[in-house]
Structure 1
Amino acid sequence: MSAPLVDIRDVSHRFGQHAALKNVSLAIEPGSYTILLGPSGSGKTTLLSILGGFVSPSEGKVFIRGEDCTSVPPAKRPTTTVFQDYALFPHMSVGGNVGFGLRMRGVDGTSRAARAREALALVGLAAAFDKKPHQLSGGQRQRVALARALVVEPAVLLLDEPLGALDLKLRRQMQDELKAIQKRVGTAFIHVTHDQEEAMALADHCVVMNDGRIEDEGPPERVYARPATRFSATFMGESTILAGKVTEVANGIITIATQAGPVSLPGTLRAGTAVALAIRPEHLVFGATAGTVALGGAKVNDVVFQGSFKRVLAMSTKDPALHFIAKASAAATVQAGDTVAVSCNAGDIILLAD
Structure 2
Amino acid sequence: MMTPLVQVKSVSQKFGAMCALDDVSLDIAPRSYTVLLGPSGSGKTTLLSILGGFLVPTTGQVLIEGQDCTGMPPAKRPTTTVFQDYALFPHMTVGANVGFGLRMRGVASSERDKRAQEVLKLVGLPEAFGKKPHQLSGGQRQRVALARALVVEPSVLLLDEPLGALDLKLRRQMQEELKAIQKRVGTAFVHVTHDQEEAMALADHCVVMSNGRIEDEGPAERVYSKPASRFSATFMGESTIFSGRVIGSGEIETVFGRWQLATDVKPGSEIVLALRPEHVVIDQKQLLPLGEGRVSDVVFQGSFKRVTASLVKDESLMLLARLPADAVVQTGDMVHFACDPKHVLVLTR
Normalised to the residue count of structure 2, the TM-score between the two structures is 0.99
1:284 corresponds to 2:280 = yes
2:267 pairs with 267, 271, 278, which one?
271
1:313 corresponds to 2:311 = no
Alpha-carbon distance in structure 2 between the residues aligned to 1:61 and 1:33: 22
**AA matched with 2:98:** V
By how many angstroms is 1:129 displaced?
A: 0.4
2:340 pairs with 333, 338, 345, which one?
345
Alpha-carbon distance in structure 1 between the residues aligned to 2:99 and 2:10: 36
Map of 2:299 onto structure 1: 304
Map of 1:90 onto structure 2: 90
By how many angstroms is 1:19 displaced?
A: 0.3
Map of 2:254 onto structure 1: 258
Alpha-carbon distance in structure 2 between the residues aligned to 1:133 and 1:268: 58
By how many angstroms is 1:197 displaced?
A: 0.3
Alpha-carbon distance in structure 2 between the residues aligned to 1:261 and 1:118: 63
1:13 corresponds to 2:9 = no
Local SS of the residue matching 1:266: coil
Alpha-carbon distance in structure 2 between the residues aligned to 1:156 and 1:99: 18
Give the percent of matched residue pairs that are identical in Structure 1 and Structure 2. Answer: 67
Equivalence map 1:235-250=2 (5 Å): 235-247=235-247, 249-250=248-249
Alpha-carbon distance in structure 2 between the residues aligned to 1:277 and 1:129: 55
Map of 2:80 onto structure 1: 80
Equivalence map 1:206-221=2 (5 Å): 206-221=206-221
- Name structure 1 gaps, 5 residues minimum: none
**AA matched with 2:265:** L
Local SS of the residue matching 2:99: helix
Moved over 6 A (4+): none
Alpha-carbon distance in structure 1 between the residues aligned to 2:160 and 2:265: 41
**1:23-73: CA deviations, max 9, x gaps?**
000000000000000000000000000000000000100000000000100
Alpha-carbon distance in structure 2 between the residues aligned to 1:211 and 1:342: 35
**AA matched with 2:145:** A
Alpha-carbon distance in structure 2 between the residues aligned to 1:92 and 1:344: 59
Local SS of the residue matching 2:130: coil
Map of 1:186 onto structure 2: 186
Alpha-carbon distance in structure 1 between the residues aligned to 2:241 and 2:78: 43
**1:335-354: CA deviations, max 9, x gaps?**
11011111111101010014
By how many angstroms is 1:263 displaced?
A: 2.0
By how many angstroms is 1:272 displaced?
A: 2.0
**AA matched with 2:318:** H
Alpha-carbon distance in structure 2 between the residues aligned to 1:52 and 1:167: 27
Alpha-carbon distance in structure 2 between the residues aligned to 1:312 and 1:245: 27
Map of 2:326 onto structure 1: 331
Alpha-carbon distance in structure 2 between the residues aligned to 1:339 and 1:288: 15
Local SS of the residue matching 1:145: helix
By how many angstroms is 1:295 displaced?
A: 1.3
Normalised to the residue count of structure 1, the TM-score between the two structures is 0.97
Equivalence map 1:10-159=2 (5 Å): 10-159=10-159
Alpha-carbon distance in structure 1 between the residues aligned to 2:345 and 2:302: 27
**1:101-123: CA deviations, max 9, x gaps?**
00000001010111111111110
**AA matched with 1:243:** S
Give the superposed CA RMSD.
0.8
**AA matched with 2:42:** S
- Name structure 2 gaps, 5 residues minimum: none
By how many angstroms is 1:271 displaced?
A: 2.3
Map of 2:165 onto structure 1: 165
Say whether the 8 Å CA contact 1:260–1:316 is kept in structure 2. Answer: no
1:295 corresponds to 2:290 = yes
**1:79-116: CA deviations, max 9, x gaps?**
00000000000000000000000000000101011111
**1:127-180: CA deviations, max 9, x gaps?**
000000000000000000000000000000000000000000000000010001
By how many angstroms is 1:262 displaced?
A: 2.2
